């Protein structure tokens, strides 16, 4: 049997949708768009056509591009906004709580719908009606809730219960869905079906009009007709970072995550990271110190500029913005949150690769009537609003930590990967890349190895599977560290596919229910 491609995702229906398009003759872009459309149905707490994201795709012959369809700051044409619908909601994660802001004024101008359509228009090869078909079927007929999705719905329940329109999607029987229950979204299914069968432009216009009508100033929101008229996805050149024989292609400015990952790779290259044994005490201390350095660069020198100055991000990736003390990370060793985001990776038989990360934030708790679309709360997340809420000028492209990534050797794709996980995205991807490229670990081991994350002076780490003395050494160096005994979705969800040695294969992150499907004739 011939292999048509491989897909890694965080949910079984999502992965199967992409595999279905590969079996129908689609390429990696057809597969990833079909999978992402399905994810808006089956991964409803994590992604939505009311959210945004980014995709890097391409092959050795045509080259690689990034389609940036993240959110823009609304408010064009508003002289003085009316009172805003904007309120805090506390989400309980068990070990900690976090406050998010929701309501119509938490919604930024979303790019996911037009971004997916633009990507398919540019690089897909099968008709749109075939690409939307899996998502339409599961939206109309229902899908089986996975354990991971049931758990995340429980976490965001305080937000999802804010309005009847959103609550009806998450809790159709009035109670929290359990793994194995079935959920559906007929309104979204009908909209996707119409999108694939009819005049796409007219249905997109209906979507934009609904955003203005329901999230504009009259309803306590900020999205105006000028905002939606001005919005368009942006094609960018990927950020390129060399690492040994490989080149890492990732999300460029104004996204912040790619630059921080690039900085980490530059420092690791200078320090010859990879000499110590994988999962050993020394390796974990080296990794923690490296992540601390990247965190210090972000918070001490770049915290605000990373979200406002694309040049500072390029400096990081080039190594020009790395402080001199970062070169002495080994000397430092000797002395011493929910990310409602999801990622899909695909490589097809022709060695076209695609990696796409999307998010809905936690959702703002309000939906587009009749469309079944829960809208984002990007304006209500502290992580991507470091200067405070509602401080950016209208029309500003928002920054993100999302970092879909392709690794190439001689321009041929070796790996396609990415992760959800808010600020932990940079740590999850950087550690996975170093596990693969520096420590040369098998793919499943590299993706599912214990993770660490550093934010300022705080360390979080997973202790399962660490080498002898590693946990004790980390706690000695960071006495206030938070230790997780088991793999946790706190540390993201890396989904990675690979091409090498004449085969296509992949690994899903068990932290978020990762699934790999190899499509065959």
Low-confidence ranges of the chain (pLDDT < 50): 299-304, 306-307, 323-336
Q: Is the dihedral of CA 242, 235, 415, 408 positive or negative?
A: negative
pTM of structure: 0.92
**CA 418/CA 340 separation, integer angstroms:** 14
Residue 36 contacts by C-beta under 8 Å, 6 or more apart in sequence?
14, 47, 53, 116, 344, 356, 358
Read off the DSSP letter of residue 394. T
SS (H, E, C) 320-369: CCCCHHHHHHHHHHHHCCCCCEEEEEEEECCCCEEEEEEECCCCCCCEEC
CA 147 vs CA 305, 374, 415: distances in Å: 39, 21, 27
The H or E element spanning position 471 is: helix 470-477
Give the pLDDT of residue 289: 78
The residue whose two tokens read 């805003």 is: 84
Residue 284 token pair: 């974990």
Q: Is the dihedral of CA 116, 503, 433, 315 positive or negative?
A: negative
pLDDT in tens, 135-161: 999 999 999 999 999 999 999 999 999
Q: Which residues does the annotation mark as catalytic?
A: 341
Which of 455, 358, 468 lies closest to 402, judged by CA?
Answer: 358
Give the pLDDT of residue 330: 34
Residue 263 contacts by C-beta under 8 Å, 6 or more apart in sequence?
294, 297, 316, 317, 319, 321, 322, 326
Residue 276 token pair: 């110590």
pLDDT in tens, 237-268: 999 999 999 999 999 988 888 988 998 898 88
**CA 335/CA 289 separation, integer angstroms:** 11
3-state secondary structure of 114: helix
pLDDT in tens, 447-457: 999 999 988 77
Give the pLDDT of residue 326: 42
DSSP bridge partners of 67: 55, 235
**CA 389/CA 395 separation, integer angstroms:** 15
Which of 30, 208, 48 lies closest to 129, judged by CA?
Answer: 30
């Amino acid at each position: 049997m011939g292999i048509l491609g491989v897909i890694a995702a965080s949910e079984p229906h999502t992965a199967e949708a992409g595999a279905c398009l590969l079996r129908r003759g689609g390429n990696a872009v057809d597969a990833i768009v079909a999978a992402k459309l399905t994810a808006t149905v089956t991964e409803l707490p994590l992604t939505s056509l009311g959210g945004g994201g980014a995709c890097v795709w391409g092959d050795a012959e045509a080259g690689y591009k990034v389609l940036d369809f993240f959110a823009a700051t609304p408010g064009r044409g508003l002289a003085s906004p009316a009172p805003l619908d904007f309120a805090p909601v506390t989400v309980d994660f068990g070990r900690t709580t976090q406050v998010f802001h929701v309501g119509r004024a938490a919604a930024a101008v979303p790019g996911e719908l037009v971004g997916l359509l633009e990507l398919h228009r540019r690089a897909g090869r099968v008709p749109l009606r075939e690409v939307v078909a899996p998502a339409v079927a599961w939206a109309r007929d229902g899908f089986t809730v996975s354990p991971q999705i049931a758990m995340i719905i429980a976490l965001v329940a305080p937000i999802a219960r804010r309005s009847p329109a959103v609550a009806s999607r998450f809790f159709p029987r009035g109670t929290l869905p359990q793994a194995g229950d079935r959920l559906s979204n007929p309104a979204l299914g009908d909209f996707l079906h119409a999108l694939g069968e009819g005049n796409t432009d007219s249905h997109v216009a209906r979507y934009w009009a609904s955003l203005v009508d329901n999230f504009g100033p009259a309803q306590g929101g900020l999205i105006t007709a000028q905002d939606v008229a001005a919005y368009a996805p942006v094609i960018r050149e990927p950020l390129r970072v060399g690492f040994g024989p490989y080149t890492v292609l990732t999300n460029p400015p104004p996204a912040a995550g790619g630059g921080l990952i690039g900085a980490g790779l530059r420092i690791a290259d200078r320090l010859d990271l990879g000499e110590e044994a994988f999962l050993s005490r020394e390796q974990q201390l080296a990794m923690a110190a490296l992540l601390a350095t990247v965190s210090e660069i972000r918070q001490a020198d770049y915290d605000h500029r990373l979200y406002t100055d694309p040049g500072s991000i390029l400096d990081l990736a080039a190594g020009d913005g790395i402080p001199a003390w970062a070169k002495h990370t080994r000397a430092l060793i000797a002395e011493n949150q929910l990310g409602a985001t999801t990622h899909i990776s695909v490589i097809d038989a022709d060695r076209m690769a695609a990696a796409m990360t999307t998010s809905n934030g936690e959702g703002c708790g309000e939906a587009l009537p009749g469309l079944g679309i829960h809208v984002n709360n990007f304006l209500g997340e502290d992580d991507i609003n470091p200067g405070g809420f509602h401080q950016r000028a209208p029309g500003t492209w928002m920054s993100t930590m999302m970092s879909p990534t392709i690794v190439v050797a001689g321009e041929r794709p070796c790996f396609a990967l990415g992760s959800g996980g808010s600020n932990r995205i940079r740590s999850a991807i950087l550690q996975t890349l170093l596990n693969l490229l520096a420590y040369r670990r098998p793919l499943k081991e590299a993706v599912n190895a214990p993770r660490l994350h550093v934010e300022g002076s705080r360390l979080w780490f997973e202790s399962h599977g660490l080498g002898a003395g590693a946990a004790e050494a980390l706690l000695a160096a960071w006495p206030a560290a938070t230790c997780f005994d088991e793999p946790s979705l706190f540390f993201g969800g890396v989904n990675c596919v690979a091409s090498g040695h004449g085969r296509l294969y992949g690994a899903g992150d068990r932290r978020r229910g990762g699934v790999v499907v190899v499509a065959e004739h």
